[in-house]
Structure 1
Amino acid sequence: MIASLPMYLRPENRAAHDAWWELIRDGLRARGIDAPDTLAHDAPIHDTWGRPDLVLGQICNLPYRSAYKDRVTLIANADYGLPDTPPGDYRSWFIARRDDPREAPQAFEDAVLAINSADSHSGWCAPWMHMQEHGYAPTRCIITGGHRDSARAVAEGRADFAAIDAVTWAMLERWEGVTTDLRIIGRTAASPGLGFITAGDADPAPCRAALAEALDALAPEHRATLGIRAITPADPARHAALPVPPPPPE
């Protein structure tokens, strides 16, 4: 069996993730759900989503609805208290270089977009939806492998703009210097945040209760590091109703 919470994991918040997991684990066991002693921090993210012994994981909206919605149970979302965003939702910030004179994403027609991966909702689908609504498109996209790398690609001039998950952006502002060369030029629409999942068809209520109970019991310094305000129920139909975008132009 395996548990993994990889989506916002960084060296600076690893201890907070571990402390939260210990409380989640004990809460799951108290509810009759077997759980591993520790998180599998180094497990390949995509591999964990399809494992039949997945006790708890995190998944991006796009791979959930395009490939995994019939293979896992969606448990909950985390509320990060993002401004002007419903609890449990998230959005992406469009970012560009600080010295770029263009003031809005729509001005980046025929520009180069950096995206973390083609199966990322926050990095590709959410900006694609914005482009469909506002009638513009990039000339091409470069695939960077991560939001952090997308921000660096823009800062270094290898791309003109990117859409960065707002939670990740806050972490970059807190722990890295790359944001000093960048600025926010817009935002995508809000959508359901990253989902907590478990394998197969399961009752989400016990897992959701264990997550919330553990968050309430977590030491204030660890809770502040994670930035999670609350655990909110997930709506699988709302996740699944979002579109699946075409492959990005390369």
Structure 2
Amino acid sequence: MSELIAALPMYDWPEVRDAIDAQWALLRDALRQRGVDAPEAIVRRNGDLPAVPGGIHDAAGNLIAPDPATLPPDELDFHKLWLHPALLFAQTCWGPMELGLSQHVQVVGQPSYDAYEGGQGELYCSALVMRAGEGDEVRSPADGKAVLPLDRIRGKRFTFNSLDSMSGIIALTRDLKAAGETLDIFSSRGESGGHRGSIVTVAEGRADVAAIDCESWALAQRFEPAARKVVIVGWTARRKGLPFITARTTPEKTVQAMREALAGLAQQPRIQRVG
């Protein structure tokens, strides 16, 4: 049995878990064909992570995360997953990467977002949503530039999934800056805990605006009833989508094998596409 771990947590909604498992099975088998000891299944709980007695340390010996065995077993702490020394394959966000994660992992590749409005190859953007009736629907611009309805969002309440999210807050912050504005354009800001939660928060009137990455928006249109109560009023600019990563200590031979496996699967429904 493999001692390595893998996860695809970023779009792992309950409604598509069978599809996510099937996608991992495709990649797992492609990796095994290239001599990589890929785990049978992906992890979804802290309790599935191998214990690291004494905690997780960086290359210099500094403690950077606690032993996963000390975490609530039925939750999943993304940051501890990403830092785990046994990490073979996972997906993260460029927000955490820019905030320090990149020092501890290697980028294996980027998925394609061609299947989603707002996506183009490895680039994606976020839909700015408000409650239906509060603005006309705006389609994703062909040039991938930001479309910010400044007058419409000024003075409104903004909700976001997490402070380190590129799609949920960082991208919008940068696009506002380019337009001569800041997040102070909003009357308040609050954290929802996830893109799905942000959509529900706006739909229920507890906030007015949210930025939802284009793949999460596609999932919401299929599975989240609250999505019918909101409308896209703008878009952030296109940026690199969520990267696939592995531990910093993963051997180069294994990294190359993973890149070859991903390239081979690019001709099939992409590893992170659902539905």
Which TM bucket (shorter chain)? 0.7 to 0.9
Match of 2:150 in 1: 106
Q: 1:138 aligns with which of 172, 178, 186?
A: 186
Measured against aligned partners, the alpha-carbon deviations of 1:75-124 in whole angstroms (never above 9, x if no partner) come to 11111213464311110000001122588531212321100000100001
Q: Is residue 2:104 matched to residue 1:59?
A: no
Q: Is residue 2:1 matched to residue 1:3?
A: no
Give percent identity, aligned residues only: 36
- Which structure: larger Rg? 2
SS of residue matched to 2:103: coil
Match of 2:262 in 1: 211
Give 1:105's aligned amino acid. P
CA-CA distance at 1:144 after TM superposition: 0.4
Residues in 1 aligned to 2:209 and 2:24: alpha-carbon distance in whole angstroms: 35
Matches within 5 A, 1:120-131: 120-131=165-176
Residues in 1 aligned to 2:40 and 2:15: alpha-carbon distance in whole angstroms: 21
Q: Which runs of 5 or more structure 2 residues have no equivalent in the other structure? A: 47-75, 138-147
Residues in 2 aligned to 1:224 and 1:72: alpha-carbon distance in whole angstroms: 20
Measured against aligned partners, the alpha-carbon deviations of 1:160-189 in whole angstroms (never above 9, x if no partner) come to 101001110011011222121111011001
Match of 2:141 in 1: none
CA-CA distance at 1:211 after TM superposition: 2.5
Residues in 2 aligned to 1:55 and 1:225: alpha-carbon distance in whole angstroms: 20
Match of 1:153 in 2: 201
RMSD: 2.2
Q: Is residue 2:139 matched to residue 1:94?
A: no
Structure with the greater relative contact order (CA < 8 A, sep ≥ 6): 1 or 2?
A: 1
More displaced stretch, 102-111 vs 73-82 = 102-111
CA-CA distance at 1:131 after TM superposition: 1.4
Match of 1:230 in 2: none
More displaced stretch, 29-38 vs 143-152 = 29-38
Residues in 2 aligned to 1:28 and 1:85: alpha-carbon distance in whole angstroms: 27
TM-score, length-scaled by structure 1: 0.82
SS of residue matched to 1:184: strand
TM-score, length-scaled by structure 2: 0.75
SS of residue matched to 2:134: coil
Per residue, is there more helix in 1 or in 2? Answer: 1
Contact conserved, 1:20 with 1:214, CA < 8 A, in 2? Answer: no
Residues in 2 aligned to 1:37 and 1:224: alpha-carbon distance in whole angstroms: 18
Give 1:2's aligned amino acid. I
More displaced stretch, 202-211 vs 180-189 = 202-211
Residues in 1 aligned to 2:43 and 2:206: alpha-carbon distance in whole angstroms: 33
Match of 1:239 in 2: none
SS of residue matched to 2:111: strand
Alignment CA distance shift 1:224-1:53 (3 Å): closer
Residues in 2 aligned to 1:145 and 1:151: alpha-carbon distance in whole angstroms: 11
Matches within 5 A, 1:165-176: 165-176=213-224
SS of residue matched to 1:117: coil
Residues in 1 aligned to 2:180 and 2:154: alpha-carbon distance in whole angstroms: 9
Contact conserved, 1:150 with 1:162, CA < 8 A, in 2? Answer: yes
Q: Which runs of 5 or more structure 1 residues have no equivalent in the other structure? A: 228-250
Contact conserved, 2:23 with 2:272, CA < 8 A, in 1? Answer: no
SS of residue matched to 1:79: coil
Corresponding residue pairs, total: 224
Match of 2:80 in 1: 47
Q: 2:246 aligns with which of 181, 198, 214?
A: 198
Residues in 2 aligned to 1:152 and 1:68: alpha-carbon distance in whole angstroms: 29
CA-CA distance at 1:151 after TM superposition: 0.7
Contact conserved, 1:23 with 1:217, CA < 8 A, in 2? Answer: no
